[in-house]
Structure 1
Amino acid sequence: MINNGSKNIISQLKQDVERFLHTAHGKLDFKTYREFMVTGNRKNYESVYFYRRKKLTTFGLLAFLYPGDQQYIEALENEIWHVCNEFTWCLPAHIDTSLEEQDYQTYKQTNQLLFTVDLFAAETAFTLAELVHLFHNQLDDFLVEKVKIEIDRRVFEPFLERSFHWEKATHNWASVCAGSIGVAAFYLLEGDGRQEEIINRVMHTLDYYLQGFEEDGACTEGYSYWQYGFGYFVYFADLLQRYRQIDLFGKEKVRAVALFQQKVFLANHYVVHFSDAEPTAEPMLGFTHFLHKKFPEVHVPRESMRKTNIVDDCGRWAPAIRELWWYDERLKGSEWPNEDHLMEHSSIYLSRMDAYAFAAKAGHNDEPHNHNDIGQFILYGRGDVFLRDLGSGEYHKDYFNDKRYQFVCNSAEGHSIPVINGLYQREGAHFFGTMKKHHESNTHESIKLDISSAYEEPLRFFRQFDWYKSDKPQLIVTDCFTFDEQPSSLTESFIADDFPYDIQDQTIYLKGKKETLQISYEQTKVIPNVKRKSFRNHQGEQEYYLHILFDAIDLEKNMTIRFAFNFLGG
C-alpha cells in the first residue's frame, strides 16, 4: 500500500496533522457568514470553511493509510460532526437566499428547511458518503446515520424536488455538482428507488458538460478548471462503469478532453493560463495514470512533477484519495514532449520546444470564466514567462457580476492586444476571432488570426505570429489594420512579467533569471512607454507586472506594425 512514491505525501500529511492539532483557526460565526452579503468579501468565510475541509480530508487519508490507528478515526469523527452541524454546506457567494434564508412564514407553509445545492454542498455529500462507505465499520453508528440524514436533507431531497441552473451548464459546475451527487447516490441509495432517478438526471447533466468542449477537447476555462471539472466527471464515470457497466470513456469527446493536459503545459509546472487560471500548476499524477490506462495516448509526466501536497486549497477529498488509489509506481514518466498543438475549434495554439514555448488564442469573449482577450499570447523561456497573462484575480462578489470587466485581469486592458480609437475589446460572444495555421515546418510555425470582429470599430484586423524555432527562438508579431475611416489613435499593448528592463536603440530588454528577451520595434511607426502596474491575484495578494505600450505615430487607413521578440541568452 505505502510505496516509495507515497512517502513524501505521507510526510506532508503528518506535518499538516501536527499543525491542525496545535493551531487554532477561526469559526464559521454569524458575522463571518454575513460578510459576503454585506461587503462582497469571500475570503474570511471561505478560509475557515476550506480549512475545515482540509482537516476532514487529511484525517480521512491518514485513517485510510493507517487503519489500525484509532487517533485518526477519532479525529475524523470530530470533523465529520462539525461539518454535519454547519448551517449550510454552500459558500455564501453561491446561496439562493430564498432557500437558506427563508422567512418564518415560508417555513410555516412548508414546514421544511430548504437548501441550495452548489459546488461545495455537492462535494461535501460526495466526501461524507465515500468516508462512510470506507469506514462504516469504524465510525460511530450514530454518526454514520447522522451523515446519511444530512446528505439526504441537504442534497438528495433538494435535487429531487427542484431543478438547478447548473443542470444545463456547459462548464465545471455541471460535472462537479452532478458527478458528486451521483457518487453519493451510488454509495448511499442502493435499493432506494430514488437512486435510478438521480443517476439518470446526473448523466443528462454530464451530457451538457461535454457539450461545453469543442471537438478538440480544449477547456477554455483554463487548466485548473479542466483538472477540477473533468476530474469529477471521471470520478463518477469510474463508479458508473463499476456499478452499472456503462462506459462513458468510450466517447470520442471524452478521449479528446483527456488529452488536453499535455497540450497546455509550457514547460515543467508552467501552464497556459488564459482565462481564470494560475500561471503554474501541478498535474495530478494518480489521475493521469488512470487516464493513461484508459487512453494510452495520454502523456505521463515525470515523477518529480507529482504533488507532495495532495490536499488542495479547498481540502477536496475526492482528488486526494484517488492520488493514492490510482498512482502506479510502475509507470515511468518523462518531460513534456516537444510538440505543436493547434486546437482549431477552440482557437488555442501551443508550441513547446525544449526550454521555450509560445501560446496564443482567438475564440470569443463569452467563454466560461471569460477574459476579453482575443489575440492574446504567452511567451516562455528558460523558467520565466516573459509575455504573460494575468490569469485569475481575487474572487469577490463583483468579480462575477456586471463589474467583472472593471478588474484589469479580466478586461482587454490586461492583455497583449491593441487599443483602437481609445476603445478596448468588449465582452460578448459576437466579439470573436478565428485562427488557422498559415505555415508549418520543423523550424518555422506561422499562425494567422482574423480579429476583425473582436472590436466595435469597423475594420479588418489580422494578427500573424511567426515562431522561428532554433537554439534561441524568435517570435515575430505582425498586425495588419484596414480601417473604414482614419483612426484617431492606435496603441499596441503588451503585458510582461515584472522584470528589470532597459530601453535603447529601438529595443526593450527584459532580464529574466536565465534569459534575456529583446523586443524590437519600428521607431518610425511607434513610441514606447513602459509602466509598472499591479493587480490583486487569486490569492488576494498584490502582484506587479509591466505594461508595455506603443502609441502609433502616423495614423492611416492601412497600417502594418511589426514587433520582434528575440531570446538572447543569459
Structure 2
Amino acid sequence: MNRIGQRQLSDVVERMVPPGLHFYYPDGDGPAFWQRVRESKAYAADVAEIKAEGKRLLGQAVPELTYALFSLYAKQGSRLEYERVYFERRRRLNTFALLGLLEPEREDYVEELLNAVWAICSELTWCLPAHVGERRPVADTIDLFSAETGFTLAELTLLLGDRLPKMLKAHILELVHRRLLLPFLEKGPYEWEEAEHNWAAVCAGSIGAASLLLLQEEREQDLLVRILEKTERSMACYLKGFGEDGGCLEGLGYWNYGFGYFVYYADLLFKRTQGELDWFSLEKVEAIAGFQQKCFLGGNAVVNFSDSFPHEQVQLGLSRYLAGRYDSVQSPPSALRADYRKDHCSRWATALRNLLWREQASNVPDWPPGDYMLEDAGWLISRTVSSAGIFGFAAKGGHNDEPHNHLDLGQFMLAGDGEFYLSDLGCGEYTKDYFGAGRYLYDCNGAQGHSVPIVNGCLQAAGRQRKASVVEQAISGQEARLTIELAAAYECPSLQSLRRTWRWHKHELPCLELKDVFVLTDRPDALLERFVTLIRPEQAEDDEGQLLLDRGTLALKLAYDRELLRLEVTERIWRNHDGEDEVWYTLDFHVLRPERHVELDFIFQFVRR
C-alpha cells in the first residue's frame, strides 16, 4: 500500500465504521461462537489446555513485580527473574479472560479476571527492565510488551462489554492514552518507529490496533488520524526489512511475532475502513505470508538461523487466516498446532486468534516436499519426502549485520524424521551482554558455534560488508545445489577465496556433498572445518574413516579423507533461551598439511539402522 497523505487519511477515517463484535465473530454473535468452541471436537485440546491453566492458577495470589526483581537487570544483566513473573501475570489475564468467555456463568473466573486486570493496570510500567534506560523517563518509554499490553486491554474492553466494570474501562482508556497513544505522538520519535524488524510491527501495530478499537467518537478522529499516520509509516519500514522473496532474517519465531502483529493490525484496519486500506493487497505481504511453509524440515524441526528455536509449532489462527487470504499459502498440518501453554510470553492477541481464526480445516499429515531459494536472504531450503521419511537441508549466505545477527555465513543444517543431525544452536538466554559488546562470545551467536570454517585461526567478523556472494544455484527434481563465496566474511588478509558448495541429493535416503575450496596468498598455519551437532558422535563400525551421528533407527554417516584431516571431537555446554545448560559437540577437522590451495570434501549420508 502506498503511503497516503494526512488529508486523504482524514477522509478515510471520517468514513470508518465503528469497531464491534462483528469484527471478531460471525454475525457478531459472541455467545454462539464460544458455545461452538466449548462443544466442538476441533477445539477440545485448546479448551482442555486453557482449563488446565485455569485449574493451576485458580486461587493463587497474583505474583508481585517487586523492585528487587526489576533491579536485577541493572545489577547483573539478567532478565529471566523479572520476566517470568511478568509473563505469569499475563498468563493469568489471558486464561481467565478466555475462561470467562467460554463459561460466563462461572463467577470465580470473573473475579480472577478482574483481579488480573487490576494488577496489570497497577504496574508501575508495562515495559520490561531490559527496555528501560536513562535516555527517556520510564513513563514515556514504549517497548514491545507495553504496546502489547495496551492492545490486549483495549481488545478486552470490547470483547467483555458490560462484564467489565465502567470504572475499569475508564481506567484502561486513561492508561492506554497516557502510556501509549500520547507518548507515541508527543514523546518520540522512538527508535523502533523506523526499525526494519519485529519492533516496528509489534509496537506500532499494537498502538495502531488499540487506537482503532478505542477511538471511535467524532471528536477523536484527529487523534486517530495522527496515530494511524505514524503507524502506517512504521509498517512500511517493517516491510522494508524483507526482500521480495519474503524471507524473515530473524527466523520463524520472529515471523510469528512481528508478522503476526502486522497482520492483527492490518486486519482491524481493513475492517474499520471496509477494505479501503488494505495491506494484504501487496505482493510482498503475500510473499512474507508464505515464509512459514518453507521453513519446516519435517515434523516440527525448522530452519533456525539467527535467534530462533530448532523446533516450532504453528499458530493455527494466524496460519489459517493467511491461507484463507492467499491461494499460495498452505494451511498447516493440524498436528503442528501450538499448545496454549507453549508461549512463554503469553500473548493475548495470538491466543485469541488461535481460536477465532482456525475454522478452515486441514487434514494433511505434514508439509509437502519443496525446494526454495530465497535469493534476497541467501537461503537454500529443501524438504525431501520419500518412502524412507521426511528429510530437510538448509544453508545460508547473507551478511553478518542481520537482525538478531549471528556470525554464520555458510552455516547449514540437516534433519531427518523431525530431528536434527547437524544443528544450529539458535537462540540463547537473553541478557544485557547478549545484546551488547559480548554478543559474539556466546557460542550460539559467534562463528565458533556454527558449522563454518576457521581460517588460519580467524573466525568470521561482524558487519554489513562481511557478506557471502552466491556463485551458483540450481534446483531440480533430483538435486539442489548452491555455491557461495565466503572470503569477505573473514578478517584474514591472506584469504583470497573460500568457496563452499553444497549438493543435496534427494535420494530415498538423501545425501549431502560438501566441498570447500580455500585459496590463500601465503601458506596458513592452520585450516579447520567445524561442524556442530547435539549428538555424541561415534565411529562407524563398517569404516574407520567414517563418523556416525546416531539417533536410533536413523543415523547420519559422515565420510572424510583421513589422509588429509585429523578429527577432534569436543563436548561443550551452552545456555539456551530458558536459561538451561545444554550439551553440544564440535566436530573439528584439522587440515594436516595446510597449503595455499586446499580442497576438502565431506559426504553426509542418511542411513537406516
What TM-score comes out, normalization by structure 1 length?
0.95
Secondary structure at the residue paired with 1:96?
coil
**Aligned mate of 2:255, from 206, 212, 226:** 226
Match of 1:49 in 2: 86
- Corresponding residue for residue 107 of structure 1: none
CA distance in 1 between counterparts of 2:474 and 2:190 reads: 47
1:329 shift after superposition? 4.7
Q: Distance in 2 between matches of 1:331 and 1:381?
A: 23
Identity among equivalent positions (%) equals 38
Are residues 1:380 and 2:419 paired? Answer: no
CA pair 337-412 structure 1, distance change in 2 beyond 3 A: same
What are the equivalent positions in structure 2 for 1:75-86 lying under 5 Å apart?
75-86=112-123
Contact 1:514 1:569 in 2 (8 A): yes
- Give the secondary-structure state (helix, strand or coil) at the position aligned to 2:340: coil
Write the mapping of 1:130-209 to structure 2, written as runs, cut at 5 A. 130-161=155-186, 162-191=188-217, 192=220, 193-209=222-238
Q: Among 531, 550, 568, which residue is 1:511 paired with?
A: 550
Moved more, 90-99 or 264-273: 90-99
Corresponding residue number in structure 2 for 1:108: none
Pairing of 1:274-353 with structure 2 (within 5 A):
274-309=305-340, 312-353=343-384
- Provide the rounded CA distance (Å) in 2 between the counterparts of 1:98 and 1:370: 25
Deviation at 1:26, TM superposition (A): 4.1
Deviations 1:109-141 (A, max 9, x none): xxxxx3200000000000000001111311111
Offset from partner CA, 1:219-264 (integer Å, 9 cap, x none): 0101000000000000000011011231110001100000000111
2: CA distance, partners of 1:77 / 1:98 = 35
Residue in structure 1 matched with residue 394 of structure 2 by the alignment: 359
Q: Does the CA contact (< 8 Å) of 1:380 and 1:386 recur in 2? A: yes
2:460 matches 1:425: yes
- The amino acid of 1:291's aligned partner reads L
Q: Distance in 1 between matches of 2:517 and 2:424?
A: 23
Q: What SS does the corresponding residue of 1:137 show, helix, strand or coil?
A: helix
SS in 2 for 1:136: helix
Could you give the per-residue CA deviations for residues 140-189 of structure 1, whole angstroms, max 9, x where no partner exists? Answer: 11111111111111111111112100000000000000000001001111
Letter in 2 for 1:132: T
1:456 aligns with 2:491: yes
1:115: which partner in 2?
Answer: 140
**C-alpha separation in 2, matches of 1:533 and 1:48:** 31
Structure 1 residue matching 2:72: 3-state secondary structure: helix
| Structure 2 counterpart SS, 1:166 | helix
Listed one character per residue, the Cα deviations across residues 46-97 of structure 1 (whole Å, up to 9, x for unaligned) are 0000000011011111122223433322221110100011011000000133
1:472 aligned partner: 509
**CA–CA distance in 1 between the matches of 2:251 and 2:558?**
28
Distance 1:204 1:481, change over 3 A: same
Aligned runs of 1:230-269 on 2, under 5 Å? 230-244=259-273, 245=275, 246-269=277-300
User: Cα deviation per residue 1:346-371 (whole Å; 9 max; x = unaligned)?
Assistant: 10111111211110000000000000
- Checking the alignment, whether the CA contact within 8 Å between 2:537 and 2:547 is kept in structure 1 is no
Match for residue 528 of structure 2 among 463, 480, 491: 491
In structure 2, relative to structure 1, the CA distance for the partners of 1:341 and 1:34 (3 Å cut) is same
Secondary structure of 2:602 counterpart: strand
- Match for residue 521 of structure 1? 560
1:564 aligns with 2:603: yes
Q: Is the 8 A contact 1:350 1:357 kept in 2?
A: yes
Aligned 8 A contact 1:339 1:353 in 2: yes
Match of 1:106 in 2: none
Indicate the residue corresponding to 2:72 in structure 1. 35
Contact 1:88 1:100 (C-alpha < 8 Å) held by counterparts: no
User: CA separation in 1, counterparts of 2:474 and 2:155?
Assistant: 51
Amino acid of the residue matched to residue 484 of structure 1?
T
Instruction: Give the aligned partner of residue 580 of structure 2.
Output: 541
Q: Name the SS for the 2:297 alignment partner.
A: strand
* Change in 2 beyond 3 A, CA 1:239/1:310: farther
The AA in structure 2 aligned to 1:218 is: G
| 3-state secondary structure, aligned to 2:606 | strand
- SS across alignment from 2:557: strand
Residue 104 of structure 2 corresponds to which residue in structure 1?
A: 67
Q: Quick check: 1:5–1:329 contact (8 Å CA) kept in 2? A: no
**Equivalent residues of 2:382, 2:393 under 8 A apart:** yes
Task: Give, in angstroms, the shift of residue 98 of structure 1.
Answer: 4.3
Q: 8 Å contact 1:311–1:320 — kept in the other structure?
A: no
1:290 Cα deviation from its structure 2 partner: 0.5
Q: Please say if residues 371 and 475 of structure 2, whose CA atoms lie closer than 8 Å, have aligned partners that are also in contact.
A: no
Query: 1:440–1:41: structure 2 CA closer, same or farther, 3 Å change rule?
Result: closer
> Is the CA contact 1:57–1:311 (under 8 Å) kept in the aligned structure 2?
no
Please tell me the residue identity of whatever aligns with 1:512: R
Residues 366-396 of structure 1, C-alpha deviation per residue, up to 9 Å, x if partnerless? 0000000000000011232000000000000
| Contact 2:280/2:286 (8 A) holds in 1 | yes
Residue 104 of structure 1 is matched in structure 2 by none
User: What residue is the counterpart of 1:6 in the other structure?
Assistant: 43
Tell me, what secondary structure is at the counterpart of 2:402?
coil
SS at match of 1:402: coil
Asked if residue 555 in structure 1 is aligned to residue 581 in structure 2, the reply is no
Distance 2:552 2:270 in 1: 48
For structure 2, the 5+ residue unaligned runs are 1-35
Equivalent residue number for residue 211 of structure 1: 240
- CA distance in structure 2 between the partners assigned to 1:446 and 1:522 by the alignment: 22
Looking at structure 2, the residues matched to 260 and 548 of structure 1 have their Cα atoms a distance apart, in angstroms, of 31
Q: 2:103 & 2:225 partners in 1: Cα distance?
A: 35
SS of the residue 2:229 aligns to: helix
How far did residue 307 of structure 1 move?
Answer: 2.3
Q: Aligned residues, how many?
A: 558
For residues 176 and 258 of structure 2, the distance between their equivalents in structure 1, rounded to whole angstroms, comes to 21
RMSD of the alignment, in Å?
1.4
- Paired position in structure 1 for 2:22: none
Structure 1 pair 500/484, CA: closer, same or farther in 2 (3 Å)? closer
| Kept in 2: contact 1:480–1:560 (CA 8 A) | yes
2:201 and 2:231 map into 1 onto residues whose CA distance is: 9
C-alpha distance in 2 between matches for 1:25 and 1:276:
31
Is 1:124 matched up with 2:123?
no
**C-alpha distance in structure 2 between counterparts of 1:28 and 1:306, whole Å:** 32
Measured against aligned partners, the alpha-carbon deviations of 1:484-519 in whole angstroms (never above 9, x if no partner) come to 221121010000113352266111111113211111
Report the 3-state secondary structure (helix = DSSP H, G, I; strand = E; otherwise coil) of the residue aligned with 1:315.
coil
For 2:470, the aligned partner's letter is M
Q: Distance in 2 between matches of 1:28 and 1:158?
A: 24
Matched to 1:240, the amino acid is L
Partner of residue 27, structure 2: none
Give the aligned partner of residue 12 of structure 2: none
Once the 2 structures are TM-superposed, how far is the Cα of residue 437 of structure 1 from its aligned partner?
Answer: 4.5
Aligned partner of 1:403 in structure 2 is: 438
Q: State the distance in 1 between where 2:259 and 2:395 align.
A: 23
- In structure 1, list runs of 5 or more residues that go unmatched: 102-113
Q: Is the 8 A contact 2:319 2:331 kept in 1?
A: yes
